[in-house]
Structure 1
Amino acid sequence: MSEFQPPQSGDKITTRCCVVGGGPAGLFLGFLLARAGVEVIVLEKHKDFLRDFRGDTIHPSTLQLMHELGILDEFLQIADKHFDSLDFNIEGKQIPGPYFTHLPTKCKFITFAPQWDFLNLLAKHASEYPNFQVHMQSKATNLIHEGNQVVGVKVEGINGEYEIRSDLVVGADGRGSVLRVDAGVEVVEKGIPIDVLWFRVGKSSELLDHTLGRIKNGRMLITVDRGDYFQSGLIIHKGSFDEIKAEGLEAFRKRVSDILPDLAEGVAAIDDWEKVRLLSIQLNHITNWAQPGLLFIGDAAHAMSPVGGVGVNLAVQDAVATANLLADKLYAGKVTLEDLKQVQHRREPPALKTQRMQVFAHQRLFGGQTAPGKPVSLSWGFRKVAGLFAPIIRKQAGKIVGLGFLPEHIQTPERAPKESASLT
């Protein structure tokens, strides 16, 4: 499989496992399965991994997994901003947030790294195994069934439509999953009242404000420091982007600079709405992760909101649990529906528990009566209770955010020999 050539129209390819979606869940799973000797193909519909709205937050639980795989030092070269705690700014007052120095992990901090660099790193190491391929610009369009068994996927690739037949198809194609629509699974929506406007704001190197979230006058701004610019997110009422555009760019720029005046110069460079991306926030889960020959993980199984920045890390935990539970059985060519259900049995409880935590945060932050254009509401009572119990909350929040409710560890063996493999 190492001498990869883009499939031709009409090709029929066979593999042990086909993973649909080249995000954190899909690539981490592909890497672990290939490392364990399982023949695996990962499908990614885009030509590369470069998309601004991907999550950047890598938590101690994920850093621990990379340590266990021996790739931590390499990853830290692309994630040079380390934070052993997170701060927030509320109405001009700096508020200490969760801290991670007490966690039982190799890295007692979180990092912010462009997700495309993280994915490229995973793809590079996975491609060292001859039993791994990633097909770029290859979009899964339909499941292939034989009776009630999923036996593969139809794919629209560079050269036309082809088929991949496999013992297992894993849907890791995110919250907009094509496969879960085709599979007819039930999606339970939690009803989120906000969206995020995602944009870049240039900054000088002297501006070293590492505050992640700012709340001022009923509005909230997220800023992720990427050196010479902030990747920024402005929280808005769900469905209100058209109204904001109607007010004009000048009013939008003022909203941002009012929250953080130091960004006024950088915000002035936003001269077109094309530079502002709408990220529609979803919080949902499916009730049935497994069908014969088919498994859903990551955002395809449970779409998370940005609260806590946990989405990437939950997806990776899903991938590790899936590999731990299924790698040996895939290697032997015997995977049953009961085997697949074990993944849901293990990973659904921490996912739903995390979503309940996010719903609570949404209700406290965005659930009150607020003026148009001002989606954030912090009650006096909530602030008082948070202040009284801050030391306990900070420590516990650090554990929940940093580790999650059920951290996984690498249990799969390394069976496959490494060799140089081409990446397309």
Structure 2
Amino acid sequence: MERTTCVVVGGGPAGIVLGLLLARAGVTVTVLEKHADFLRDFRGDTVHPSTMTLIDELGLWPRFARLPWKPIETTQVVLDAGSATLGDLRRLRRLGQPHPFVAMVPQWHLLDMLAGAAEEEPGFTLVRDAEVVDLRRAGGRVTGVRWRDRSSAGGAEHELAADLVVACDGRGSRVRELSGLPVHDFPVPMDVWWFRLPRGDGTGDPAGGIGRVSDGRLVVMLDRGDHYQVAYLIPRGADAAYRRQPVQVLRDDMRRLHPWLGDRVDGLRSWDDVKLLAVTLDRLRRWSAPGVLCVGDAAHAMSPIGGVGINLAVQDAVAAARYLGPLLACAPADPAAVDRAAARVQRRRWLPTAATQAAQRVAHRVVVRAVLGATAPTPGGDRLPAPLRLLRRVPALQVVPAYLVGVGVLPERAPMWARRGAQETGPQDAGAKNSSALPSGSVKDSAQP
């Protein structure tokens, strides 16, 4: 029997940030990560301005600035009737945001950087290849976890006692399942294909984020410097039927939507290059029970609309650390006080979660469902919709979607006791950064954004 004060299940952005913050509060914290490394493709690679501000406050900007990332400063949408800028993040500078762009950084680089900083704290431990198989209970309270060492012959099992278990293990959370917390699922009209297409060497290709909407098709392309990361929306549950067609059908469709891609669509050699994300939108009715708390996707799985999931999860982690850190640092902590603090995390984060999911549900209903269900040209399709015409006519309004996506409804600030070093604002000329590339060697496939 081993013991820690807090066990965090899941070594994603929320889990590592929470572990780092708790360790800086003086808490003995153990993070259990199911995999041997962070190398999984098509994970949440968007780091938004609010998250970069947090990185600044933690004194980690110099480390982040050395990572390979590509800034996205504007997003535009292209319809058959024309194009319009949907959001201009550069305008956030006037609202006091020191990093007015979204940084596209491979998640494994971000996690390696955060984990390295956390491991400098004496109370932090990261255990890899650690798969949680059950919760320990005593007197109706969760008192730790039982986990399997996936790296050992036969998968040796261990028990880890803790004052609090925090689930940061994503939308397929094992801890959430074992805890029996009630969940509310929302219907979604889509799934998403993820794949890459090469970007041209010159300056002729569009930069930033490009959404393409045509009758029956909705595609988003994110500029990663040397390639585009493409999200191609398909009707819910249609993946298997579509894959019975030759992949040439997808190539031809991308060339029709973006003729300037030319023969670069041939980079899709087979359906193996196309990864499926089965979209989920749900929210726990209660995020906590005695001895256990869920945050991030374990508490509320987000749609990929807006790419905000990773940033909401990180903000959950900051709120949890603020309420729980000083309390857990005074070991042994009072169980009733720990449970009250865990419940406060849900109360704090409920508004931004519910508001963001409500906006995503509106987008699903008004935009995605209408586009994917289109079988004929839309009446009036020769004109841009009124909201896009307004954004073109009054460019200052482009800061509104930029703020809602880039900063969010209730951004969290690092607790003062977690801050370190000089507060560097980082480069103002975001365009100076190089693009990110895949590391050499194999990368494990994952379609979870």
Name the TM-score, length of structure 1 as normaliser.
Answer: 0.89
2:287 alignment counterpart: 289
2:7 to 10, 18, 27: 18
Relative to structure 1, is the Cα distance of residues 336 and 211 closer, same or farther in structure 2, using a 3 angstrom cutoff? closer
Contact residue 135 and residue 144 of structure 2 kept, 8 A: yes
1:93 to 72, 76, 82: 82
Contact residue 26 and residue 123 of structure 2 kept, 8 A: yes
Offset at residue 264 of structure 1 (A): 4.0
Q: Equivalent residue of 2:162, what SS?
A: strand
Offset at residue 94 of structure 1 (A): 2.8
Contact residue 86 and residue 211 of structure 1 kept, 8 A: yes
1:353 aligns with 2:355: yes
Q: 1:293 & 1:79 partners in 2: Cα distance?
A: 39
2:200 to 195, 204, 219: 204
1:132 aligns with 2:124: yes
4+ long deviations beyond 4 Å: 369-372, 374-382
Offset at residue 353 of structure 1 (A): 0.7
Identical aligned pairs, as a percentage? 37
Q: Equivalent residue of 1:227, what SS?
A: coil
Q: 1:164 & 1:222 partners in 2: Cα distance?
A: 43
Q: 1:82 & 1:368 partners in 2: Cα distance?
A: 31
Q: 1:148 & 1:324 partners in 2: Cα distance?
A: 26
Aligned counterparts, 1:2-401, within 5 A = 12-91=1-80, 93-100=82-89, 101=91, 102-157=94-149, 158-159=151-152, 160-206=156-202, 208-212=205-209, 213-333=211-331, 334=333, 335-368=337-370, 370-371=372-373, 383-388=385-390, 391=394, 393-401=397-405
Offset at residue 412 of structure 1 (A): 4.8
Q: 1:262 & 1:43 partners in 2: Cα distance?
A: 46
Relative to structure 1, is the Cα distance of residues 369 and 81 closer, same or farther in structure 2, using a 3 angstrom cutoff? closer
Offset at residue 24 of structure 1 (A): 1.0
Offset at residue 73 of structure 1 (A): 2.8
Q: Equivalent residue of 1:303, what SS?
A: coil
Q: Equivalent residue of 2:200, what SS?
A: coil
Name the TM-score, length of structure 2 as normaliser.
Answer: 0.84
Structure 1 unaligned segments of length 5 or more: list them. 1-11, 417-424
Relative to structure 1, is the Cα distance of residues 412 and 291 closer, same or farther in structure 2, using a 3 angstrom cutoff? farther
Q: Which moved more, 1:281-290 or 1:196-205?
A: 196-205
Q: 2:378 & 2:170 partners in 1: Cα distance?
A: 30
Offset at residue 227 of structure 1 (A): 2.8
Contact residue 234 and residue 256 of structure 1 kept, 8 A: no
Offset at residue 142 of structure 1 (A): 1.2
Relative to structure 1, is the Cα distance of residues 17 and 350 closer, same or farther in structure 2, using a 3 angstrom cutoff? same
Relative to structure 1, is the Cα distance of residues 264 and 67 closer, same or farther in structure 2, using a 3 angstrom cutoff? same
Contact residue 32 and residue 412 of structure 1 kept, 8 A: no
Q: 1:16 & 1:412 partners in 2: Cα distance?
A: 22
Q: 1:238 & 1:217 partners in 2: Cα distance?
A: 17
Q: Equivalent residue of 2:232, what SS?
A: strand
Q: Equivalent residue of 1:336, what SS?
A: helix
Q: 1:223 & 1:108 partners in 2: Cα distance?
A: 20
RMSD of aligned C-alpha atoms?
A: 2.3
1:419 alignment counterpart: none
Q: Equivalent residue of 2:385, what SS?
A: helix
Q: 1:379 & 1:193 partners in 2: Cα distance?
A: 24
Contact residue 370 and residue 377 of structure 1 kept, 8 A: no
Q: 1:72 & 1:369 partners in 2: Cα distance?
A: 40
Structure 2 unaligned segments of length 5 or more: list them. 421-449
Q: Equivalent residue of 2:98, what SS?
A: coil
Residue type of the alignment partner of 1:274: D
Offset at residue 379 of structure 1 (A): 7.5
Contact residue 367 and residue 377 of structure 1 kept, 8 A: no
